[in-house]
Amino acid sequence: MSREFLLEEKIIAVKKSHFEGVGVVGGLDRGCTLTKVLFSTVKDDEHYNLHFALFKNSHFEAGLDYLKEKGMVVQVPGAKLHVTGAGCDMHRELIKQKLGLEIQFINEFLTQGRGTHWLIGCADDSEICYPEPELDMSEFEGLQANNFLQKLIEKAKKDLGEPIEGQKFPCMMLFMGSGGGIMKIEENGMSDMVGGLWFAGRSFLGLSKLLLGTDDYDEILELASKGRRNNVDTEVKDVLANDPNSPYGQLPPNLPVFPFGKAVDTDKTLADLSREDLANSIVFSFAYNAFTNLALAAQTSKIPKLYMGGNFFRHELIRAEILKIVRLFTGESIALKFLITGHTGAIGAMISKPEDEFKYLAFMQQQAQQAPDGANSPA
């Protein structure tokens, strides 16, 4: 019964040695929109299979039933299930009642950094990241040799340095679920929250509800895949001369510069626009906004290895369009990968101990009193 509400489930194999000190090999993260269920099965003598199951919050109890049906590896008898996210704090008693386990709530600002570091550190990118989609660069054909763009690529290489093959850390991670933020993660697991996203997944769904009449992620992306944002957005060709001698340089004519700009340019109203075109504009406005924030943080920190994670990036359409812009303006200067799961919070909860949370909260109190610049959060 609970499986019918399952949005998706992914599995990766992880060596048992990475779970030293973990009481229950599983976790739970109920955010403001989705519930991330993490559980484990034994693959062989040396590995556990980690299962990443996803449910809508409206089917939260189905997610709990699913977790109970599948079970979890309990390495320490009597250990508590570690949970995180605003919804898990709100529904503590329901979780205990459904699962028959005592729970330990872990602060989600701690869990995101720890979970991301653990996931990247214990598996190859090929196992935990989406494969790079085939990119259709035809709309930018001939521009790669453009002198202006080449200067931008050279600047990106100078600002960021070249990615080092096989080096995992330091890295920058942008996570985008209902909310979003950007973390710098070091080799030793220390993380620094270097930025936040004012417009993230919950705002994406809210704006879609207002303009499209739906807040269903899959429906929004299906609409967007059939739409053309150039019917909604102001593009370079609408405001700049397509002239190599222009003082603005020769930018791609079809590059959007003002989302929804044509509502002003042509005095269009909602009735004049298709849902598909509006969806396309909404999706890429949020996607580009997220990436430009990440790129700025990477440039400031001089870190070329970047990850984007969270359930906003589940659809290939979003990932492909971001990568097209990355290739156009930075060449191979940025090593950008998309994590296959938005369960980094649940992972971080699973591996964290109560004393880690106390240490983190003490650190935050110290930060509030001293307000030092550029300090890192503890591992």
- Complete domains list, the chain, with CATH: 2-124+343-367 (3.30.420), 133-338 (3.30.420.40)
pLDDT number for residue 374: 46
Q: What is the pLDDT of residue 323?
A: 92
Backbone angles phi, psi at 315, to 5 degrees: -90, 135
Claim: this prediction has a pTM higher than 0.85: yes
For the segment 49-86, what is each residue's pLDDT rounded down to a tens digit? 999 999 999 999 999 999 999 988 888 888 899 999 98
The mean per-residue pLDDT over the stretch 355-361 comes to 71
Does residue 368 have a pLDDT over 60? no
- Tell me the H-state helices in 71-216: 86-90, 92-99, 108-122, 125-128, 147-160, 201-212
pLDDT at 165 over 90: no
Position 143 scores a pLDDT of 58
For 292-317, the pLDDT digits (tens) are: 999 889 888 888 889 999 999 999 99
Is the CB of residue 26 less than 8 Å from the CB of residue 99? no
Which position has the higher pLDDT, 203 or 375?
Answer: 203
The pLDDT of residue 144: 53
DSSP element (H, E) containing 277: helix 275-301
Task: Please report which helix (H) or strand (E) contains residue 39, including its range.
Answer: strand 34-42
Q: Which residue has the higher pLDDT, 44 or 156?
A: 44
Interstrand relation of 81-84 and 27-30 (parallel, antiparallel or unpaired) = parallel
Q: pLDDT averaged over the chain?
A: 87
Between the two ends of the chain, the Cα-to-Cα distance in Å is 39
